[in-house]
Amino acid sequence: MIYLDYAATHPVYSDIVHNLHDIVNKYHYNPSSLYEPAINTRIFYESQRAKIAEFLCVNEKNVIFTSSATEGANLIIKGLNYKNRKMIVLWKAEHACVFKTVVNHRDVEYKLLENPEGYITYDDIKNNIDKSTRLVCLMHVNNETGAINEINDIAKKIKEVDKEILVLSDMVQSFAKIPINLEYIDFATFSSHKIGGLRGAAGVYIKDKNQLKPLIDGGGQEYGLRSGTENVLSVYSMAQAMEVARDIYTAKNNHLISLNDYMRDICKNKKYSINSPEKSVPYIFNFSTKVLPSEVLINGLSEKGIYVSSASACSEKSHNTSRILKSMGLEDDVINTSIRVSIHPSTKLKDLKEFFNALDEIISLYK
C-alpha cells in the first residue's frame, strides 16, 4: 500500500495510539467536576491548550477547542458581530467549510477573489475592501494545490487601511507543518486529523472573544464559546501530534523539497500540466495528465494499492469541480484530469517512482 493522500487525513501516529489507553483511563473524568481526579483532568486538559497556545505564540485564553475545523469556521463566520458592516471578502478557492458557510449566510454579502497565479496577494484584495467590509477569509495553504498565501503580511496591510476589518485564516493544511505567524490574524482554524491526531478535535485562535457569540449554548465550556463536555482524549492527541509533526516536518523539509522537485521534473518530461504554483508547500502537489479523467486514474491506482485524490476529499460529491483550478482559468481537460498527491516526511522516492510507473501503466491501457 502506498498512501499519498495525507492532505485528506493522516493516520494517527503509533506512539500516540500507544499512549491513548493510559490517558483514557487516567483522564476520563468530567473536567468540570469538583473531586480530585476531575480536577487533575482539568489541569491535564488545560496543559494541552497551553502547549498549543505556546506553539502558536498566543495566549492560551485565545485558543478554543471545537470538534472540527469545519465547526471552527462556522463558529467564526456565523457567530461574528458584523456591526454595521455586511461584506465578507473571500478567496474563491477557500475550503467548502468557509466558502459554503459564507455563501449560505443570509445576513451578509460577499465578494470573491481570484488570481490565475493560484494564490492571492494584497493587490488582489485592496480594491475589494472598503467601509462595508467586516471580514476577509483567506486560507494559509490551499488543500488542493498546496499554494501558499502570505497571510500575515496581507493581514498587516489590511489593518493599515482599516482596523475594523477582521481576517480569518484557515490554517488546516499549514498547522504544525510550516511556520505560522498570527500577529495580524484575528481568527485561525486548525484540525487534529490532518496532522496525525484523532478526529473529533480541532481548534480556533480567536484574538478578541468579545467579537463572537456561540453557536452552541449549554454548559459554557471553552470560555462560553463552545459548550459540550471537553474531548480530553482527542485534544491530547492533537497536542501530541502537533509536536511530532513540527519536529518531523522541520527535520525532513529538504527531503520533502527533493520529492516535490522529482514530481515536477517527471511532470515536465511527460508534458503533464503542473497545477501547483511554484509558491507552494512541498507536501501537496497537483498535476493533470490531460489524458484520462481523474476518477479513472484514482480507481486504477486504487486497484494497485496506491491512494491519491483529485479535488478535496471533503468537497461536496455532486459539485466536485475544483474551484481553485477553475479560478486559475485552467481548461476543462486540465481540471477534469487533475490528481493531488499529498506526501509525508516518511514518503520515499521509491513510493513516488511506483506511483508514476503505475500511472503510465493505467494510461497505456487506454491508448
Q: Would you count residue 174 as binding ligand PLP (CB under 6 A)?
A: no
Strand partners, 204: 64, 189
Reduced 3-state DSSP string for the chain: CEECECCCCCCCCHHHHHHHHHHHHHCCCCCCCCCHHHHHHHHHHHHHHHHHHHHHCCCHHHEEEECCHHHHHHHHHHHECCCCCCEEEEECCCCHHHHHHHHCCCCCEEEEECCCCCCCCHHHHHCCCCCCEEEEECCCECCCCCEECCHHHHHHHHHHHCCCCEEEEECCCCCCCCCCCCCCCCEEEEEHHHCCCCCCCEEEEECCHHHECCCCCCCCCHHHCCCCCCCHHHHHHHHHHHHHHHHHHHHCHHHHHHHHHHHHHHHHHCCCEECCCCCECCCEEEEECCCCCHHHHHHHHHHCCEECECCCCCCCHHHCCCHHHHHCCCCHHHHCCEEEEECCCCCCHHHHHHHHHHHHHHHHHCC
Q: Would you count residue 139 as binding ligand PLP (CB under 6 A)?
A: yes
Cβ nearer to ligand PLP, comparing 11 with 220: 11
Q: Would you count residue 234 as binding ligand PLP (CB under 6 A)?
A: no
Q: Would you count residue 172 as binding ligand PLP (CB under 6 A)?
A: yes
Cβ nearer to ligand PLP, comparing 75 with 202: 202
The correct pick among 170, 186, 222, 230 for binding ligand PLP (CB under 6 A) is 170
Q: Would you count residue 238 as binding ligand PLP (CB under 6 A)?
A: no
Q: Would you count residue 323 as binding ligand PLP (CB under 6 A)?
A: no
The correct pick among 115, 143, 240, 310 for binding ligand PLP (CB under 6 A) is 143
Q: Would you count residue 215 as binding ligand PLP (CB under 6 A)?
A: no
Using the contact rule CB under 6 A, the part of the chain among 65-73, 179-187, 207-215, 251-259 near ligand PLP is 65-73
Shortest reach from residue 21's CB to ligand PLP, in Å: 24
The correct pick among 77, 129, 166, 202 for binding ligand PLP (CB under 6 A) is 202
**Does residue 314 carry a catalytic annotation?**
yes
Shortest reach from residue 300's CB to ligand PLP, in Å: 24
Q: Would you count residue 69 as binding ligand PLP (CB under 6 A)?
A: yes
Using the contact rule CB under 6 A, the part of the chain among 66-74, 219-227, 278-286, 294-302 near ligand PLP is 66-74
The correct pick among 314, 354, 356, 363 for binding ligand PLP (CB under 6 A) is 314
Cβ nearer to ligand PLP, comparing 77 with 172: 172
The span from the CA of 27 to the CA of 48, in Å, is 13
- List the catalytic residue out of 97, 137, 267, 314: 314
Using the contact rule CB under 6 A, the part of the chain among 113-121, 170-178, 212-220, 263-271 near ligand PLP is 170-178
Cβ nearer to ligand PLP, comparing 5 with 186: 5
The span from the CA of 85 to the CA of 65, in Å, is 28
Active site residues: 314
Binding residues (CB under 6 A) for ligand PLP: these are 68-70, 95, 97, 139, 143, 170, 172-173, 191, 202, 312, 314
